[in-house]
Structure 1
Amino acid sequence: MELGAELDPRNVLAALVAVVSRRSLQEKIQVSGQVAMELDLTADPTFAELSARVHALVGERFTVRVDGMELTATDSGTALGSEAGDDPGRIAGQVRRALADGLHEPSRRISVLELASDTDRALVAAFEGSGTAPAPARCVHDLVDERARRTPDAPAVGTGAEEITYGQLVDRADQLAARLAHAGAGPGHVVGVLGERSPETIISLLAVLKAGAAYLALAPEWPDARLAALLGDASVEVVLAPGEFAGRIPGGLTVVPVDTSAEVRGAGPGPLPAGLTPGHLAYVSYTSGSTGEPKGVCVPHAAVSRLVSSPDWTVFGPTDVFLQVSPVSFDASVLEIWAPLCNGGRVVLLPPGRVDVDRMGEVIRTAGVTHLWLTAGLFHQMVDHQLGRLGGVRHLFAGGDVVSPQAVARLLAAHPGMSFTNGYGPTENTTFTACATFRDPPPPGPVPIGRPISGTRVKVLDAEGKTVPPGVVGELHAAGAGLALGYLGRPAATADRFVPDPDGASPGARLYRTGDLVRWRSDGMLDFCGRADSQVKINGYRVEPDEIATVLAAHPEIRSAAVVDEPGSGSGKQLVGYVVPVRSSSDAPPPGDLRGWLRDRLPEYLVPARIVTLAELPLTLNGKVARDALPQARTAARSVPNDYVAPRLPVERLLCRLWSETLNIEKIGIDDDFFELGGHSLIAADLLARLQNEYGIEIPARMLYLSPTVGELAELEELAPLRARLG
């Protein structure tokens, strides 16, 4: 495509380099052909600075290639063509606009050069969604009550051993709500709910909403320090907890026992608050905080209603059977619990404890699960190890991280007629912001995160808040009925992330800056391109490494710390901590002690798989931690407190080798606990799959939880054939 003879081709090349960087997120651009060079854009140069570099290195006549685009400058003019199937016309238009903006204002940084035309802006506006909910907003408990009035005898919540109907669910929640009101809970209050996956926990959540309060779901596996910190931060005064967990609640708080038996329920419900609106707070969900402090996201009833009432991206109804897999403290549970209960469906609860794919596959089959939400890591494991058990599922949702297109293709090829949704969404926009749904295997390439769902409007903007055209990376901003109210008790953090929406339909409309980088496809789908900050996803959980580093650095024997993510087992990621001790490296606390320090203060998913001691943390010229310079050895030292005991038997040596390779740890002893070494359910599935695929030994996942050391595992009856074979 001809760009014109009047243009200085070196300025055109500078504009092309800027456009390629904006489209690809590359900071070092390779130029090849008659001129070979690398242009480093890490410092985000101005157009004038970039153009000056190009002028110093390139003459007026040349043919060069940049990321599949060929730029030719001759006496007759400058032309741009594509070697890689890209649309040269669209890219040429972006180059023209970048060049015009850069020449008009040479001091502009290349990250904010104008690339969008009026046509681009009109096209993107059609992709962005309306932000209007598909149905009038309702309170969550009103939606459940309505279903209970229609079908009181329909099953609502079940475990296999226990089943409660909609009538029983609402009746017990009413009774418990009255007890909460008597304890002082009501509108404007946050009530803690501490419990595992159980009917009582579901009843508790509904009771809190009926009392007019908001629930803060707490996980029993969290350390006491974490529970106390969140309860204090949310100003919780009343906590619902079963008897076995009541002793973990800090003194001074009112503990209402979760006992919904007839003997405790009493004569009838007391008066419940009137005047509740969908704008009232429904729940508070804490996310990992970049400042080292977790932030409570405040989600109103209207945002949940927008997610579960008459969505345009799926259909929820009375025949749906959802499996609740997620911890209630994780916002995926909002979909798992309230989508079925607000639409007359049924919730099946995975038994409490660690999630293992064997048990989950069996529950899916026996309970007739039709709808299943899985984090990306768990989705990959289910496809690898339980694909046949997914045959009855009508709609499978996955998200929380990048999903494998090969896994999606395997799933849909094995189960024709199933719908698969790749769902994307931060907690601040209530579980899902955009979704891509497939009934046939998606085309090759990354699986998109889709289009904005009903009730959501999104914008993709550059650093100056300007719309970027399709193909160019920008930060995703979300608006609409799913938006949270903000962060509990943190007005500054709220103002930083929830910014004014200049295109909002009503006064005070806001946009949530997600910190996620995306690009529009030409068909209106969004591609996920990574994080604008250091936030990462580990096993589906949103993690701010700086929060963990802050806790590590608070250890009395640690001077400074950093935490990064790196590739872990299979396709997943793992966290790695780096610490500098107060004294010498030889006096540093053992890694196992530091991981124990973290376990006492943070949930397990925030504890790094390994911790490395350094003399100093590498720093950039600006004094920040140079994360790229941190050593990333593929194996780590043992980080458990027990003494090393070497394997003696052939089967023990084999298992130690497999554990070492799967966990990326250099030396495993027969008394080392798999989970204390950093293992979790997804890594366990990989390990057991290797035993089955390479040695024909099939061990249920629960056996690893019961026998978590090499020595114990080697003695299992299931390994008798392997012991006999090895001698």
Structure 2
Amino acid sequence: MHQKKQYAERSSLNSSVAARHSSHRRAYDRNATVHGIVTGIARARPDATAISFDDARLSYGELDQTASKLAARLISMGIRKGDIVGLLLPRALKTLIAKLAILKAGAAYAPFDPAYPVEHLSYMTRDCAPRALMIDRESAALAAGLPMAADRLVDIDDALATLAGREMAATFPAVGGGDAAYVMYTSGSTGRPKGVVIPHRGIQRLVCDQNFVDFRPNDVVLHTATISFDAATFEIWGTLLNGARLAGIGDRTLSMPRIAGTIDEEQVSVMLLTTGLFNLLVDHSGGRLNSLRHVLFGGEVASADHARRFLAAHPTCRLTNAYGPTEVTVIASTFDIPTDLQDDTVPIGYSIANNGLHILDDDLTELPPGREGQLAVSGDGLAIGYLNRPELTRERFVTITAKNGESLRCYLTGDMAVMDPDGLLHFRGRRDRQVKIDGKRIELDEIETALRRDGHLADAVVECHQAGSAKRLVAYLRPHTMNGHDEGDFAATVLGRLKGVLPAHMVPGRAIVLEEFPMNRAGKVDRSRLPAPTEAQAPAATPAEGMEAIIARHWRRVLGTESFGTDQNFFDLGGTSMQLMRVHAALEQELGRSIDVVSVFEHPKIRSLARFLEKAPDSLQKTATAQSRAARQKEVMSQFRRSRR
């Protein structure tokens, strides 16, 4: 009860602070459009800085004008209201212009991560059938392997350079709050990713006149999310729909010095991080980040220890644990963490505005407070549905009868939760086989389906094992026949083929070959009797001293295993980019020097990284590729500025 009292007091304080800034708040209009609001801000404050990416800056007037020209170009290509336009682009200033242009043209954008394998990208482009695909010079070769006609590919760099000195006029279509704004693909239990269609209304409901965040025109909001991750929705549109400034980190590979440096240099005041990235920042930020006034994090179960440590160092900063699946437009509930948090578990909070939370039994009947059931979400944040999946849409988006007798459209999250009498939610796990690793949603069934398409396998099972704080995906393989092949070689070959099908974060780091799977009395695989990873393979030899031993120690900590050798690839062992960022931060801290994070990613083996660190001088400089990319972007935007004079 003490914690709830503290939460209530803190919420009251936040409300009073927000009230003093109420004149700055963007009113919520469920019929308004994202691009319409940005245009209104551009007319009112054309010279205010909208976006900064490294050395490049763009005002609201420049952003709106540039996006309008690009939108006119899209319309001239035949893009119409309701179409989908794909984005095969990195996190960059040009990508933000492209998103706004697509909305102005009446279309919805579908962001695709260029790091995904071509087969995965091919499926998504076939599924959503984009009328055009925006690419850049770096993704052009990848795009050539996708089922897209060459005349439907738009090189964003060339387009911006070509349009710089030209006048482009077009009649933009009328769009409403209920029309589609973007399609975001998530992992699917049926074995294929599914596209979630989000309307303009959902975006606006997330960031306009909300009770969990108070965006102000003088805010600087950090942009670190990839374009295919829905946290980018909060970062980008939370900024641009409230007249604030977005500070982007253009490098594809993030690092703690880069993030902390950007926060300090740009005086970032608001940011949303994945739980893993927030924990990493707490562990390795290297000092106080005095400009921050509101930090939100989410995507995985919160660490109370990291929350307490952050608040101890930043007692005046508001810290919020956020919860919400892609289907409800990023966030459904939030919990403001008190500075004297007592419990070791952190609630997922109270409902945000224009949103409803419901605990349901198996018959979709609302349960009273204190009873555990499936969490359902209602309100204006709900997706239109799943693209080309009417059956799945009907299964997950249902109509319930609320306690007051009202019929409500809800999304069934698959999360189990308990609600207190005052509306506070507590997470109780999943009712299915979905897991979260580094904030990314992974359906184990999708990985199993992909493996079962391998002609060399009779069956496959995937489980998520946890060792300490590290989660590891483990595949269990039952081959048709080994044909004299070594089990290790067979498993490596199967996982190698899987890398060409699924994104890296969905590829298991370990595979165990079994002649037969243990079965239960019902004739199904008894997952509880599958061998643990440590039973399947003896630890590989690892170095005992020197730089290799230092690296190996940090690998063991983040991977949760000792089964690796000095010439094994970190990512082949199931390591993720977030985990390698942890290794990078820990190495900098232990060695007491700066290390180029890109080089750590370029040397994902212990032996090669050790040799690099023993020879390389201290460096935090960008790679030549990053420098040339920034130079191209700066030149393109300078052309636009010259064209306005």
Q: Residue 119 of structure 2 contacts residue 501 of structure 2 at CA under 8 Å; is this kept in 1?
A: yes
Residue 679 of structure 1: how far off its partner (Å) = 2.4
Q: Residue 67 of structure 2 contacts residue 98 of structure 2 at CA under 8 Å; is this kept in 1?
A: yes
**Alignment of 1:677 onto 2:577:** no
Q: 1:288 aligns with which of 177, 187, 201?
A: 187
1:578 aligns to what SS in structure 2? strand
Higher RCO structure (Cα 8 Å, ≥6 apart): 2
CA deviation digits over 1:101-151, x for unaligned, max 9? xxxxxxxxxxxxxxxxxxxxxxxxxxxxxxxx9544410101111111111
Residue 703 of structure 1: how far off its partner (Å) = 4.1
Change (3 A) 1:719 1:261: closer
Question: Residues of 1 paired with 2:315 and 2:558: CA distance?
Answer: 33
Q: Which residue of 2 aligns with 1:580?
A: 478
Q: Which residue of 2 aligns with 1:214?
A: 108
Alignment of 1:32-181 (within 5 A): 134-181=28-75
CA deviation digits over 1:520-566, x for unaligned, max 9? 12432100111111111111011100101111121121111111212
Q: Which residue of 1 aligns with 2:391?
A: 492
Alignment of 1:536-551 (within 5 A): 536-551=435-450
Question: Residues of 1 paired with 2:174 and 2:404: CA distance?
Answer: 26
Question: Residues of 2 paired with 1:653 and 1:412: CA distance?
Answer: 34
**Alignment of 1:325 onto 2:221:** no
> TM-score under structure 1 normalisation?
0.75
Change (3 A) 1:474 1:443: same
Q: Which residue of 2 aligns with 1:305?
A: 204
Q: Residue 424 of structure 1 contacts residue 432 of structure 1 at CA under 8 Å; is this kept in 2?
A: yes
Q: 2:504 aligns with which of 601, 604, 612?
A: 604
**Alignment of 1:241 onto 2:135:** yes
Q: Residue 566 of structure 1 contacts residue 574 of structure 1 at CA under 8 Å; is this kept in 2?
A: yes
State percent identity of aligned pairs: 37
Question: Residues of 1 paired with 2:169 and 2:524: CA distance?
Answer: 58
CA deviation digits over 1:508-527, x for unaligned, max 9? 84111111100012432100
Q: 2:178 aligns with which of 279, 289, 297?
A: 279
CA deviation digits over 1:609-643, x for unaligned, max 9? 2222122222333333322222223487599xxxx
Question: Residues of 1 paired with 2:413 and 2:312: CA distance?
Answer: 34
Question: Residues of 2 paired with 1:321 and 1:635: CA distance?
Answer: 50
Greater CA drift, 346-355 or 680-689: 680-689
Aligned residue identity for 1:142: G
Question: Residues of 2 paired with 1:508 and 1:189: CA distance?
Answer: 31
Question: Residues of 2 paired with 1:675 and 1:223: CA distance?
Answer: 15
| Paired residue total | 586
Alpha-carbon RMSD across the aligned residues, in angstroms, is 2.9
1:244 aligns to what SS in structure 2? coil
Change (3 A) 1:586 1:629: farther
Question: Residues of 2 paired with 1:606 and 1:533: CA distance?
Answer: 17
CA deviation digits over 1:379-429, x for unaligned, max 9? 111111116253321111111110111111111111011011111101110
Greater CA drift, 693-702 or 320-329: 693-702
Change (3 A) 1:394 1:661: closer
Q: What 5-or-longer segments of structure 1 have no aligned partner?
A: 1-84, 86-132, 722-727
Question: Residues of 2 paired with 1:173 and 1:357: CA distance?
Answer: 32
Q: 2:371 aligns with which of 461, 472, 476?
A: 472
CA deviation digits over 1:328-382, x for unaligned, max 9? 1111110010000010011111223223223222222212111111111111111
Question: Residues of 1 paired with 2:541 and 2:528: CA distance?
Answer: 35
Question: Residues of 1 paired with 2:483 and 2:579: CA distance?
Answer: 30
Q: Residue 620 of structure 1 contacts residue 626 of structure 1 at CA under 8 Å; is this kept in 2?
A: yes
Greater CA drift, 603-612 or 492-501: 603-612
1:388 aligns to what SS in structure 2? coil
Greater CA drift, 672-681 or 211-220: 672-681
Aligned residue identity for 2:225: S
Aligned residue identity for 1:361: A
Change (3 A) 1:657 1:511: closer
Q: Residue 106 of structure 2 contacts residue 174 of structure 2 at CA under 8 Å; is this kept in 1?
A: no
Question: Residues of 2 paired with 1:634 and 1:701: CA distance?
Answer: 31
Bigger Rg, structure 1 or 2? 1
CA deviation digits over 1:140-199, x for unaligned, max 9? 101111111111111111112211111111111111111111122121211101100111
Residue 292 of structure 1: how far off its partner (Å) = 0.6
Residue 276 of structure 1: how far off its partner (Å) = 1.0
Change (3 A) 1:166 1:474: same
Change (3 A) 1:634 1:693: farther
Aligned residue identity for 2:477: V
Residue 709 of structure 1: how far off its partner (Å) = 2.4
Q: 2:453 aligns with which of 526, 550, 554?
A: 554
Residue 662 of structure 1: how far off its partner (Å) = 4.3
Change (3 A) 1:140 1:585: farther
Aligned residue identity for 1:616: E
